[in-house]
């Protein structure tokens, strides 16, 4: 496995001369905290280290004359687990559960003098952790739990002390297991790539390190291999399983011109792929980055829950004191101290978010953290870019107009395709596809093709020069007069079409008009968004107003803006933001990046430009606009589940707390009820996050 940094982000929580406390969100591949403590002790100048695994913090004492806080932080942040001597993994609390259960069962048969030392030994790790937590963080829920056990031990109520210790150990083990499993599910979205890749160099296939592959390389992938780059198929045919990236279980056949994603696997065949994204820029690598972010990013709902839990801790402590005074029984105080809100409030929300993000990933949707999911559910206005979003972005030949009666419309297409088939460009692919769809698909023999960058192509057919390209190319570069057909050209332009001019023998032979088509599921997606609570759906476009109006009417949109620049799009988003709208912007181009960044939440299409995918909060992994509605449905479901869990947590724990304060619950009963309800709430947050994604809409 590739070496990974231990700690993604260290934060200085508190510092004194010669002492610092750090919080440490752990990396996916981080070793056990015990190993972290051992390695921190090896830093020159460090005199002592104490790790609080529950609080995810470490307190370091150091000699200020030999090292500094900055040096310590930098050293820890750069540590990689493969540089550390392997240590046995901790049992994640299973040992504590087993030992506390043994004490609970065995203590009752021991003579009374032996029960105190046995019970104290079983509770000692919890008591030490409570003291350390109090020293580092003040009064917390873990401190309250330790106090409850200490009270029972002081009163020689060993059954209550041992039962509480066991239930707390079991509850913590289950809570951590559920939280860890939600992380593990997200990590299943990662797909390893080979360290060596086959590429064409000088006509020969050579194997080179993955890090040496560059954009523009011709990557060769055979059956059984994982595709290591994002790119376009140049030659060959292959059957590809894309489930790892899109969640789609049906394998697809890829041929020349098809897009492929890294992390997908070749089941059969052989492809030569033009590398467009390599290394850290590939889809698989971006998934890894998104997963890393999602494991630590905290939403407003999560922060609110954590803040409420922290605020309630002093209230629980005061209530325990009042209960003890009013009832005259310290057992009621011990019961109250165990009925805190912290675990369920702090864990259920992130578990629900991670489960939803895993389901989203399995459905071909990458969500960059809990905040993005939360904002997606809040959005009341969806704004779509037109080209490549509401439309397919795949150009199709709609008009073939020949100005020479010797050539039919099909002849014109086939003539252009004969020279364009050597050109790797969306316009060229569209013309070739159109020629293949004709009855004849006639090929015109020609000489070597010249590529004129940003203009078009040129060759010779039957001794006459043929050029295919833009108006500027045929008029200014080739000197061909187009003015006689200005009316036809203007009509096609007003239809929002892209034009290819064919010059043959120094004259304009004809024009091919191309246009991208409306996505088949666009109307259904907009209808689903409205059912999911979206109030307004708008469209922004740089195209001609007539074409935009036609699309808006066809889709039943609430409004549109046409003939826009990128600055115009960002300005419209900013204006709507200022009026209180919560905008989800869906786009795919470089020109959409400012609008994506300015929206409440940005959604980038699968074939979008790099900057669009980097700027967006949500990235679609497959070219289907239906995934936008799927993302909204997932976000709504996640927030509904979080709201339900929040109400359950507050309601159930308040009831338990009230009964404990009134003396109606023993410490053992409180421990059973509190931990049982907490585990149930966590399981509810976790449900629906199994390895299989649900059936998706096309």
Question: For the packed helices 300-327 and 626-661, what is the interaxial angle rounded to 10 degrees?
Answer: 10
Residue 249: band (very low, low, confident or very high) from pLDDT cuts 50, 70, 90: very low
Mean pLDDT is lowest, of 170-174, 364-368, 562-566, 658-662, for 170-174
What's the mean pLDDT in 27-51?
Answer: 70
Look at residue 8 and tell me whether its pLDDT is greater than 60. Answer: no
Return the active site residues.
385
Residue 632: band (very low, low, confident or very high) from pLDDT cuts 50, 70, 90: very high
DSSP symbol at 21: E
The residues of the chain that CATH labels 3.30.70.100 are: 11-83
> Which letter, b or e, does each residue of 575-614 get, where b requires 16 or more Cβ atoms within 10 Å of its Cβ?
ebeeeebbbbbbbbbebbbbbbbbbbbbbbbbbbbebbbb
pLDDT attached to residue 383: 94
Rounded Cα distance between 378 and 558, Å, is: 19
What's the mean pLDDT in 236-244?
Answer: 75
Query: Two tokens at 32?
Result: 């056990």
- The pLDDT tens digits for 104-125 are 677 766 777 777 888 888 878 8
pLDDT attached to residue 583: 93
Query: Two tokens at 364?
Result: 């071909």
What's the mean pLDDT in 15-20?
Answer: 82
Mean pLDDT of the chain: 77
pTM of the predicted protein model? 0.59
Which CATH code, of 2.70.150.10, 3.90.25.10, 3.40.50.720, 2.40.128.720, is assigned to 196-281?
Answer: 2.70.150.10
pLDDT attached to residue 89: 42
Look at residue 399 and tell me whether its pLDDT is greater than 70. Answer: yes
The residues of the chain that CATH labels 2.70.150.10 are: 196-281
Q: Under a CB-based contact definition with an 8 Å cutoff, are residues 144 and 338 in contact?
A: yes
DSSP characters for 393-418? EEEEEEEEEESSTTS-HHHHHHHHHH
pLDDT attached to residue 287: 55
The residues of the chain that CATH labels 3.40.50.1000 are: 353-386+522-633
What's the mean pLDDT in 215-233?
Answer: 86
Query: What region does 138 belong to: left with phi over 0, alpha with psi -120 to 50, or beta?
Result: left
Please tell me the CATH code under which domain 353-386+522-633 is placed.
3.40.50.1000
Which class is 11-83 in CATH?
A: alpha beta
pLDDT attached to residue 29: 46
- The pLDDT tens digits for 130-140 are 787 777 767 66
Query: What region does 436 belong to: left with phi over 0, alpha with psi -120 to 50, or beta?
Result: alpha
pLDDT attached to residue 63: 83
CA dihedral 37, 42, 43, 44 (to 10 degrees): 140
Q: Under a CB-based contact definition with an 8 Å cutoff, are residues 73 and 79 in contact?
A: no
Rounded Cα distance between 368 and 86, Å, is: 32
Span 392-517 CATH architecture: 3-Layer(aba) Sandwich (3.40)
Residue 104 vs residue 129, higher pLDDT: 129
Mean pLDDT is lowest, of 67-71, 80-84, 171-175, 528-532, for 80-84
- The pLDDT tens digits for 54-92 are 667 788 888 887 788 877 887 776 665 444 444 444 445
Q: Which of 521, 529, 523, 519 is nearest to 381 (CA)?
A: 529
What's the mean pLDDT in 415-440?
Answer: 83
């Amino acid at each position: 496995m590739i070496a990974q940094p231990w700690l993604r982000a260290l934060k200085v929580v508190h510092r004194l001369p010669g002492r610092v406390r750090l919080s440490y969100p752990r990396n996916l591949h981080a070793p056990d905290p015990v190993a972290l403590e051992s390695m921190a002790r090896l830093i020159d100048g460090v005199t002592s280290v104490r790790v609080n695994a529950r609080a995810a913090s470490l307190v370091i004492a150091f000699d200020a004359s030999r090292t500094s806080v900055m040096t310590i932080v930098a050293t820890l942040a750069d540590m990689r687990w493969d540089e550390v001597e392997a240590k046995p993994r901790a049992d994640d609390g299973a040992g504590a559960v087993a030992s506390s259960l043994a004490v609970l069962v065995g203590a009752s048969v021991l003579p009374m003098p032996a029960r105190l030392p046995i019970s104290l030994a079983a509770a000692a790790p919890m008591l030490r952790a409570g003291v350390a937590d109090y020293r580092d963080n003040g009064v917390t829920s873990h401190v309250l739990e330790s106090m409850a056990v200490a009270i029972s031990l002081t009163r020689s109520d060993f059954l209550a002390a041992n039962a509480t210790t066991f239930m707390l150990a079991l509850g913590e083990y289950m809570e951590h297991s559920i939280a860890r499993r939600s992380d593990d599910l997200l990590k299943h979205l990662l797909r390893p790539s080979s360290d060596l890749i086959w590429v064409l160099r000088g006509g020969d296939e050579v194997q080179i390190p993955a890090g040496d592959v560059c954009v523009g390389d011709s990557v060769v992938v055979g059956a059984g291999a994982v595709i290591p780059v994002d790119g376009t198929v140049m030659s060959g045919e292959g059957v590809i399983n894309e489930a790892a990236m899109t969640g789609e279980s049906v394998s697809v056949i890829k041929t020349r011109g098809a897009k492929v994603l890294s992390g997908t696997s070749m089941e059969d065949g052989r492809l030569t792929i033009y590398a467009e994204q390599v290394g850290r820029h590939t889809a698989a690598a971006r998934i890894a980055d998104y997963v890393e972010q999602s494991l630590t990013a905290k939403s407003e709902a999560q922060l609110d829950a954590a803040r409420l839990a922290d605020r309630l801790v002093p209230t629980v402590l005061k209530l325990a004191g009042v209960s003890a005074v009013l009832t005259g029984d310290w057992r009621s105080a011990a019961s109250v101290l165990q009925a805190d809100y912290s675990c369920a409030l702090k864990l259920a929300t992130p578990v629900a978010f991670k489960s939803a993000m895993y389901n989203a990933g399995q459905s071909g949707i990458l969500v960059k953290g809990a905040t993005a999911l939360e904002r997606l559910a809040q959005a009341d206005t969806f704004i779509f870019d037109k080209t490549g979003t509401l439309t397919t972005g795949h150009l199709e030949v709609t008009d073939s107009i020949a100005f020479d009666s010797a050539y039919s419309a099909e002849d014109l297409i086939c003539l252009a395709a004969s020279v364009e088939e050597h050109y790797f460009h969306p316009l060229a692919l569209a013309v070739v596809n159109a020629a293949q769809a004709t009855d004849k698909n006639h090929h015109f023999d020609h000489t070597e093709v010249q590529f004129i960058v940003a203009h078009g192509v040129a060759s010779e057919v039957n001794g006459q020069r043929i050029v295919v390209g833009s108006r500027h190319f045929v008029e200014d570069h080739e000197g061909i007069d187009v003015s006689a057909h200005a009316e036809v050209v203007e009509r096609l332009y007003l239809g929002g079409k892209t034009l290819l001019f064919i010059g043959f023998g120094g004259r304009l032979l004809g024009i091919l008009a191309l246009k991208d088509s409306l996505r088949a599921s666009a109307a259904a997606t907009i209808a689903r968004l409205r059912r999911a609570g979206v109030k307004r759906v708008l469209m922004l476009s740089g195209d001609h107003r007539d074409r935009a109006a036609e699309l808006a009417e066809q889709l039943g949109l609430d409004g549109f803006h046409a003939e826009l620049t990128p600055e115009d799009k960002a300005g419209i988003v900013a204006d709507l933001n200022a009026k209180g709208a919560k905008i989800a912007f869906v786009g795919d181009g470089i020109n959409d990046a400012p609008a994506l960044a300015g929206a409440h939440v940005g959604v980038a299409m699968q074939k979008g430009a790099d900057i669009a995918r980097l700027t967006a909060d949500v990235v679609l992994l497959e070219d289907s606009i239906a995934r936008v509605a799927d993302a909204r449905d997932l976000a709504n479901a996640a927030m509904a589940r979080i709201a339900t869990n929040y109400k359950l947590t507050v309601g159930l724990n308040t009831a338990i707390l009230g009964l404990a304060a009134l003396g109606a619950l023993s410490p053992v009963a409180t421990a059973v009820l509190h931990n049982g309800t907490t585990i149930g709430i966590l399981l509810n947050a976790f449900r629906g996050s199994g390895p299989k994604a649900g059936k998706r809409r096309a």
